[in-house]
Amino acid sequence: MVYDEENILLMTPGPVPLHPRVYQAMSRVVFHHRTPEYRKTFGECVSMMKEVMQTENDVFIITGSGTAAMEAAIANCVSPGDKVLTLINGKFSERWVELTETFGGKPVPLEVEWGKAIKPEIVSEALDKEPDIKFVAICHNETSTAVINPLQKIAKITKEQDKILIVDGITSVGGDYVYPDKWGVDILIAGSQKCLGCSPGLGMIMVGPKAWEIINKRENIPSYYLNLPAYKKSFEKSSEPPYTSAISLIYGLHEALKMILEEGYENRVKRHRLMAKALRSGIEVLGLQLLAEKGYESNTITAARYPDGVDDGAFRKAMQKHGILVAGGQSHLKGKIFRVAHMNIIAEREILLVLAMTSLVLKELGFKCESGAGVAAAQETFLKNLK
């Protein structure tokens, strides 16, 4: 067997391929976390994270996945009985409902067909219908369906109606445009293993002034480890978290963030968008349909419907045999779609390779498509856009 977990190409929505510089950083000798040397590294991580998140608000780095940061948002903000408008258009946005219920809040689910985007007008209608809603929770980039929601327009509505907007930006921060301060996002979540290009295990949470007003009024926050006032107090005192850091992951994140800033925010977003455009054009030329609603396609992940007669298990197993790991569908989309992520250091080489292997595997499984058509379409996209 030529390909195994040592050399397979990860085209999954986290973990993603890491640059050797990040691996090397994580292999550093572990130093003690309550020292000036480590505090400097951690403080630089927070400063760089603010740049990547495009914010001047507080940012905290939590040992735990992005879901831990999501839980921190709900645990610190939502009191028992508080209404939370939970905007659902995929598997990951459902998590806001579950978290709200866990901490005694009252979710008000607003769900649209998976593959469709959450439109601003339905958010406005829902808030008009139940004016006592206090929070709105949304997944900016819904990875399960490869749909990006119009966050800026939704944030305008929540700001006008004085609601606290909590955003899962786990697969958009570092890969697409997110401007929480300009748009009016009150809490923004990110995760290390997606567009940021580090290993899993770190969650980031940005907390704005309106969210702090809510948090500071609470008499009891039902979490010890995810207590945000404790993080704020500790960082303001000594530029470190209140509890033991995942030291090696912080080393890796430090290097990954340096690389993001070296590339430049605008350049990085443009690259992610170009890779998405090229992959989508190649997939459609092969005769496959995209799942995402036209005009709302994600720029960090693409989902394609299987053609009739192509089995999900057989397709992904064959792709893996040829050295590429792609993701399947979730929930009721299981077996109906496959998903290809294009995050972090993914560029032309990987996109062309994925399209070439997709064509090969489809033909192996009996689906008729023109050899090389997907690659040719992506090449044309690159030739028109690359400088």
All structural domains of the chain, each given as residue ranges with its CATH number in brackets, are 9-15+265-385 (3.90.1150.10), 20-262 (3.40.640.10)
3-state DSSP assignment of residue 321: helix
Angstrom distance (rounded) from CA 265 to CA 175: 9
Measured CA to CA, the distance from residue 253 to residue 245 in angstroms comes to 12
Whole-model pTM: value is 0.97
What is the Cα Rg of the chain in Å? 21
Strands 9-10 and 324-325: parallel
Short-list 48, 59, 36, CA closest to 232: 59
Residue 102, classed as helix, strand or coil, is helix
- Angstrom CA distances, 125 to 109, 113, 132, 322, 338, stand at 13, 17, 13, 49, 33
Taking the alpha carbons at both ends of the chain, their separation in whole angstroms is 39
Block residue for tokens 């998590």: 95
Question: Contact, 302 vs 273, CB < 8 A?
Answer: no
Among 197, 256, 213, 185, CA closest to 41? 256
Q: Which residues pair with 190 in a beta bridge?
A: 204
pLDDT one-digit tens code per residue, 248-264: 999 999 999 999 999 99
pLDDT category at 386 given cuts 50, 70, 90 is confident
Report how far residue 328's alpha carbon sits from residue 317's, in angstroms, rounded to the nearest whole number.
Answer: 11
**Model confidence over 26-73: pLDDT tens digits?**
999 999 999 999 999 999 999 999 999 999 999 999 999 999 999 999
Per-residue model confidence as pLDDT tens digits over 151-170: 999 999 999 999 999 999 99
Over 70: is that where the pLDDT of 387 sits?
no
State the Cα angle at 297 between 292 and 299, rounded to 5°: 140
pLDDT at 233 over 80: yes
Element (H, E) at 98: helix 94-102
Average pLDDT, the chain: 97
* CA neighbor of 276 nearest in space, from 253, 295, 300: 300
Q: At what angle do helices 373-385 and 265-285 cross, to 10 degrees?
A: 150
- In the chain, alpha helices (H): 20-26, 36-53, 66-77, 94-102, 120-129, 151-160, 180-183, 209-217, 228-238, 247-263, 265-285, 312-321, 348-364, 373-385
- Looking at the DSSP assignment, which residues form a beta bridge with residue 167? 138, 188
